């Protein structure tokens, strides 16, 4: 390409954009409900270990490929390994999986839009906690309302990516990301005063291995990839806009720690409500939407608080979908030489159509036999398919690529450029070449039942 690659304006700009991509529904919506379903403490511990030992080295790996090639995934893999190499397949896998994630993500973000409007109309007034909770079921099972919000949210995302990410999203992220942190911390502190806090703290932070299953462990790995935006080449694309003076390892750590903090604070905010009001931690995808309005209804300033929270949720979802759409349309621009506007609209339309089965999942209007066949509705099925298989496998391929296939000198030089953490090159290489692939493989084998780690360690 003759056109000069765009670059981030500043180090802060990159951190905000990457953190904006990472912090989103994954930390605020998915982390609490998956933790609830997997029994708490032990799952949280595995999630933490995955973030630090697997995601951190991989995050650096994606940035290294991205900055070294200044390309999007498919092109990056083919530059580094030759045009006909099968590594290109890893790039295509990343693109396909991004489309799938985006398709159901927009539906959940649509729920957040719906709850913003609900908050404005003070829907919790005069309702009991059970009645407030039942609003979610009503929403999930109403196909056409879901489609409306999904479409609106996609238009919002398209508008931002269309109009230029750097200007718009970076400027807003500077104000709204700190605002989100403030509201989250304030709510978490309030939650700590609830009677159920003790039980919640025990649930979240005291590991009880008896409640952890092999599938749960793989799910923790997938969740860590999901919240870190890893595995699908998103961070790779963002890395391609980095400048040589940017510090890859240090900024990676900052972004991951921010993401981790948001997930944990979200847990501290939500679980005390669950135990105080006698709800089940296993409520599933509706957890956040069911519990938080009940908390807001108890607090002074319900209208403002609730509206502000859900608006921020929409916003964090938006900074994440912007990264998804940006990655997909940048890939189309590069692969098919389409102009930006055409790429953006075609991808958006495709994602809308692909999202319809998720939108209509709980209404029984489409694929009504699905739940009986798969044991969960369409939405839940594809979401756990992505978490358990696509993300770990993509992650495995990227770690193998960085560790073994990509040219050594280029990789090492890229790591060292702009960083004061040069001494960590060796440990990083060890992690990405051995530990990361080994851990991912172990978890995959365990999940397929080919080996049984449980049997090796305990209960003998
Ligand atoms: N990390 C985002 C979140 O937590 C979602 C996301 C953005 C994502 N880009 C991704 C997930 C790439 C998987 C892969 O909400």
pLDDT given for residue 388 in this prediction:
81
Q: Is residue 6 part of a domain?
A: no
Tell me how far apart the alpha carbons of residues 232 and 91 are, in angstroms, rounded to a whole number.
Answer: 8
Is the pLDDT confidence value at 458 over 80? no
The whole-number average pLDDT for the span 68-87 is 84
Q: How far is the CA of 382 from the centre of ligand 1 (A)?
A: 15
Query: Which domain does 124 fall in, by range?
Result: 11-458
Tens of pLDDT, residue by residue over 395-415, are 999 999 999 999 999 999 999
Residue of minimum CA distance from atom 6 in ligand 1:
229
Question: Does residue 258 have its Cβ closer than 6 Å to ligand 1?
Answer: no
Q: Is residue 206 part of a domain?
A: yes
Looking at residue 386, what DSSP letter applies? I
Q: Is residue 335 part of a domain?
A: yes
Q: How far is the CA of 18 from the centre of ligand 1 (A)?
A: 10
Closest CA to 30 of 418, 409, 386: 386
Out of 3-12, 147-156, 378-387, 436-445, least confident range: 3-12
The CATH number given to whatever domain includes residue 392 is: 1.10.4160.10
Averaged confidence pLDDT in the chain? 89
pLDDT given for residue 255 in this prediction:
94
- pTM, to two decimals: 0.90
Pocket test for ligand 1, best of 20, 93, 227, 258 (most atoms within 8 A of CB): 227
Domain count, the chain: 1
Closest CA to 22 of 324, 312, 239, 414: 324
Query: Which pair of structure tokens corresponds to residue 22?
Result: 């990472």
Question: Does residue 26 have its Cβ closer than 6 Å to ligand 1?
Answer: yes
Q: Is residue 52 part of a domain?
A: yes
Q: Is residue 1 part of a domain?
A: no
Residue of minimum CA distance from atom 9 in ligand 1:
229
Q: Is residue 418 part of a domain?
A: yes
Tens of pLDDT, residue by residue over 228-273, are 999 888 899 889 888 899 999 999 999 999 999 999 999 999 999 9
CA distances to 141, 239, 293, 295 from 38, in Å: 25, 33, 23, 23
Q: Which residue has the higher pLDDT, 231 or 342?
A: 342
Q: Is residue 111 part of a domain?
A: yes
Q: What atom of ligand 1 comes closest to residue 228's alpha carbon?
A: 1
Is the pLDDT confidence value at 171 over 80? no
Q: Is residue 5 part of a domain?
A: no
Pocket test for ligand 1, best of 17, 20, 25, 26 (most atoms within 8 A of CB): 26
Is the pLDDT confidence value at 457 over 60? no
pLDDT given for residue 443 in this prediction:
80
DSSP output for 280-318: -TT--TTHHHHHHHHHHHHSTTHHHHHHHHHHHHHHHHH
Tens of pLDDT, residue by residue over 314-336, are 988 998 998 899 889 988 998 89
pLDDT given for residue 220 in this prediction:
92
Is the pLDDT confidence value at 419 over 70? yes
Is the pLDDT confidence value at 154 over 80? yes
pLDDT given for residue 117 in this prediction:
96
Question: Does residue 320 have its Cβ closer than 6 Å to ligand 1?
Answer: yes
pLDDT given for residue 362 in this prediction:
82
Looking at residue 400, what DSSP letter applies? H
pLDDT given for residue 2 in this prediction:
39
Question: Does residue 323 have its Cβ closer than 6 Å to ligand 1?
Answer: yes
């Amino acid at each position: 390409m003759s056109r000069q690659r765009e670059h981030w304006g500043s180090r802060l700009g990159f951190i905000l954009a990457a953190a904006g991509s990472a912090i989103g529904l994954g930390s605020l919506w998915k982390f609490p409900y998956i933790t609830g379903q997997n029994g708490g403490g032990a799952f949280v511990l595995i999630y933490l270990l995955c973030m630090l030992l697997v995601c951190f080295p991989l995050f650096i790996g994606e940035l290294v490929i991205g900055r070294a090639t200044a390309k999007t995934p498919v092109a990056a893999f083919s530059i580094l390994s030759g045009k006909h190499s099968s590594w290109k397949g890893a790039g295509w896998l990343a693109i396909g999986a991004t489309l799938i994630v985006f398709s159901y993500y927009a539906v959940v973000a649509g729920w957040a839009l719906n709850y913003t409007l609900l908050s404005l109309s003070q829907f919790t007034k005069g309702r009991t906690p059970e009645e407030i909770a039942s609003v979610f079921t009503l929403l999930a099972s109403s196909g056409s309302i879901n489609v409306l919000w999904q479409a609106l949210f996609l238009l919002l995302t398209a508008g931002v990516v269309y109009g230029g990410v750097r200007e718009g999203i970076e400027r807003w992220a500077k104000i709204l990301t700190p605002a989100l942190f403030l509201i989250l911390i304030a709510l978490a502190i309030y939650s700590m005063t609830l009677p159920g806090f003790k039980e919640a703290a025990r649930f979240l932070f005291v590991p009880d291995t008896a409640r952890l299953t092999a599938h749960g462990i793989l799910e923790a790995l997938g969740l860590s990839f999901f919240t870190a935006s890893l595995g699908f080449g998103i961070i790779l694309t963002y890395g391609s806009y980095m400048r040589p003076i940017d510090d890859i390892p240090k900024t990676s750590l900052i972004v991951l720690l921010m993401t981790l903090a948001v997930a944990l604070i979200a847990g501290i905010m939500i679980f005390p409500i669950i135990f105080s009001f006698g709800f089940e931690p296993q409520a599933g995808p509706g957890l956040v939407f069911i519990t938080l309005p009940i908390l807001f209804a108890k607090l002074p300033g319900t209208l403002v608080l609730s509206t502000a929270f859900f608006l921020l949720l929409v916003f964090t979802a938006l900074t994440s979908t912007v990264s998804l759409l940006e990655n997909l349309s940048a890939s189309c621009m590069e692969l098919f030489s389409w102009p930006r506007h055409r790429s953006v609209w075609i991808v958006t339309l495709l994602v809308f159509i692909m999202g319809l089965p998720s939108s209509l999942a709980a209404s029984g209007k489409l694929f009504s036999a699905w739940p009986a066949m798969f044991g969960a509705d369409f939405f839940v099925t594809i979401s756990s398919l992505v978490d358990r298989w696509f993300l770990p496998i993509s992650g495995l391929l990227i770690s193998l690529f960085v560790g073994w296939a990509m040219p050594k000198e280029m990789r090492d030089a890229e790591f060292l450029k702009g960083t004061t953490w040069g001494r960590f090159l060796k440990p990083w290489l060890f992690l990405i070449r051995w530990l990361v692939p080994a851990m991912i493989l172990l978890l995959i084998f365990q999940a397929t039942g080919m080996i049984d780690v449980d049997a090796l360690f305990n209960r003998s």
